[in-house]
Amino acid sequence: MTRHTVALKRAYDPPSPEDGKRVLVDRLWPRGVSKAEAHIDLWLKDVAPSTDLRTWFAHDPAKWGEFERRYRAELAKNPALEELRELVATHSVTLVYGAKDTEHNQAVVLQRLLTA
């Protein structure tokens, strides 16, 4: 079975041909990025953290461990994760996100889940 890659990229970084399918994994569209320049193939809002979890986390690295635990619990019962798994089974995928912090965001958690 071919193993497809799951890469991460900020929405503010330019797309490249190596990205494969570009999937936006944010609930909100990234500020200041037009749909044309983003080159998003799929906007999977439902795989993003709940609004309550996102608001609680507020991209605070001190809350990272607890955020990851809570987000994984949300994903365990989220059908959007299965949709993403099916896409990764057939394509290389780049998970696109808007956060400034490249190490503490939902795309990092998703990448770990999809490549485990």
What's the pTM value of the predicted model, to 2 decimals?
A: 0.93
Chain segment 78-107, per-residue pLDDT in tens: 999 999 999 999 999 999 999 999 999 999
pLDDT of residue 81: 95
Phi and psi at 68, nearest 5°, equal -60, -40
Identify the pLDDT of residue 116.
87
- What residues does each domain of the chain span? 6-115
**What pLDDT digit, counting tens, does each position of 74-83 carry?**
999 999 999 9
Are residues 32 and 46 in contact, defined by beta-carbon separation less than 8 angstroms? no
**Distance in angstroms (rounded) separating the CA atoms of residues 62 and 25:** 22
Spans of the chain below 70 pLDDT? 1-3
Q: Would you state the pLDDT for residue 2? A: 55
Structure tokens given for 23: 């999937």
